[in-house]
Structure 1
Amino acid sequence: MSLLKVEDLSVNYGVIQAVKGVNFEVNEGEIVSLIGANGAGKTTILKTISGILKPAGGKIYYEDREIQSEKSEKIVLGGISQVPEGRHIFPGLTVMENLQMGAFLRKDKAALKNDYDAVFSRFPVLSERKNQDAATLSGGEQQMLAMGRALMAKPKLILLDEPSMGLAPIFINEIFDIIKEIKKQGTTVLLIEQNASKALSIADRGYVLATGNILMTGTGEELLANEDVQKAYLGG
């Protein structure tokens, strides 16, 4: 069943058309990856889904409801969380306070303790550092915190923007294992990632974007095996 459907989406930055009539969908329980070079429009698409940017045209359906003109808070309450590019954890707040910010809009306060425990069991390093200023964490730890914070909103769909950017190889493998684990626990994932081979290796399906348009779509395996994709994105 389609959880998210993007139809003919166009987004402008001033006079520049960053996204030009893009169509794609994400089914419940999938990991779907958008790959493409810098400037292809990937981050713009995620920001538009989460209500940070407003589209110039087209529609975004989430659970069959149009959301392209909704405010970000309503979109989060509806079950979509974003882990932004560059992590954007809150410096000056502790690890625990960052996680509390993720749960800020939740009404089911009684369930929070179990969810903090679940985040700490998934990311044990955060438990060890929960009273530490989040700014003192390493890049990989900050990425885990950003993911934990997004999960505290109890999303049905999590939007991940470049989760491996700037991380050491040991953390990159860990982050991708965590993404697979998030899917296993029942959260649907829309993933944007420069590391196309890693992204496609865990994706059920993928879309290849170039200058605001979708060029190609297929299963993760099909796109990994595609010669054009290998040449353009996988160093083949």
Structure 2
Amino acid sequence: MTYQHIQFTVQQGVARVTLARPDKLNSFTEAMHLELRDALARVQDDADARVLVLTGAGRGFCAGQDLGDRGMQMAAGQAPDLGATVERFYKPLILSLQNLRVPTLAAVNGIAAGAGASLALACDLVVAAESAYFLQAFSKVGLIPDTGGTWLLPQRIGLARAMGLALLAEKLPAQRAADWGLIWSCVPDAAFPDEIDRLAGLLAQAPTRALVRTRQAMQAAASHTLEQQLSMEAGFMRELGWRHDYAEGVAAFLEKRPARFTGE
């Protein structure tokens, strides 16, 4: 597929997807959804990819759904089926991210609003530039947070803060998001590109399978009893203990040298 609304590269183990509609703050259209779906499938199938970095072009990360993309339906007097939009595009997008075979890093370079905020939060690690902010804008148009927002927000910051963000639709600056534990870190704008490159490089050299199993275990914890979680941990530890990267990690520790993980 030829991409017009995203940019996609894989270099030195780092797959980068850049949402590239900067004049529209990288808001979603059907065409961009299809391109992003294709890019994620390529990452899933590319053995050279060890981490995915997701970011936006220009001054925004993603402003959510481009309401103009539905404009023709509404102008023709046909109310859009927003549930169908969620089922067709946003649900598979988030599930694809959550099931990706490599860790994911959201580099939030500017506004992350609506579905764009949820897209970022669906990644394993979220780093934001100091000038960036998050906005749950759904109540301004009579909707609820989607793209997993009603699950991601309470999981990350608790019900009280999640409800405040959703009901009031107020901007959440990146530094406060970090202070609340919604994201991993807030970085000064000037240092942001280098920090993203540093983290991407670390993740690209890490034991990929172990990172993904960590994601899976932490996601499962909310619906598991302690006994169920302990059993899941035992299963994953059994699997990982048989892999090359565990043996390499132990050998590197004993030999006092950097580990050379393959990701398998």
Q: Answer yes or no: same fold by TM over 0.5.
A: no
Please report the TM-score for the alignment, with normalisation by the length of structure 2: 0.29
Considering fraction of residues, name the structure with more strand.
1
Please report the TM-score for the alignment, with normalisation by the length of structure 1: 0.31
Higher Rg: 2
| Larger relative contact order (Cα-Cα within 8 Å, sequence gap ≥ 6) | 1
